[in-house]
Amino acid sequence: MTEGSFEQLARNQMLFRVLNEQLKPILARSGEPPSFVCECSRGDCRERIALAHDEYADVRAHAAHFAIKPGHDFAEIERIVHENGRFAVVEKIGQAGEITKNDHARAARPSTA
């Protein structure tokens, strides 16, 4: 797999993470059981996963962790750190992990504009 491929797979997951962060307040107000977009590397995945808000917060506490539908892991760039019947948590490894951590650190820096 090429460097560009690893980067694209990592960026796909980060885009789904951003979407979930934007959906969180809407889901909290809806009164419906929370579900989030699968944060897998597949750019065309639109599946939902059932996670409580505190479960999602636990996933987000680690920059390289993502919540995915079981079976959506990609062994070349991540390892499963937790799995139950509703969702799995994967951790980016190797080059994909570095890309994720670097982007997370960049996003956490205050804007100078």
Domain membership flag for residue 48: yes
> Up-side HSE of residue 100: CA atoms within 13 Å toward CB?
28
Instruction: Give tens-digit pLDDT for 8-28.
Output: 777 777 777 777 777 777 767
Predicted TM-score (pTM) of this structure: 0.72
Residue 48 dihedral angles phi and psi, to the nearest 5°: -110, 150
Task: Please determine, for residue 55, whether its predicted confidence score (pLDDT) is greater than 70.
Answer: yes
17 in Cβ contact with 66 (< 8 Å): yes
Pick 110 or 71 by higher pLDDT.
71
Domain membership flag for residue 38: yes
Domain membership flag for residue 52: yes
Looking at the 3D structure of the chain, how many domains does it have?
1
Domain membership flag for residue 113: no
Distance CA 65, CA 89 (A): 6
Pick 72 or 111 by higher pLDDT.
72
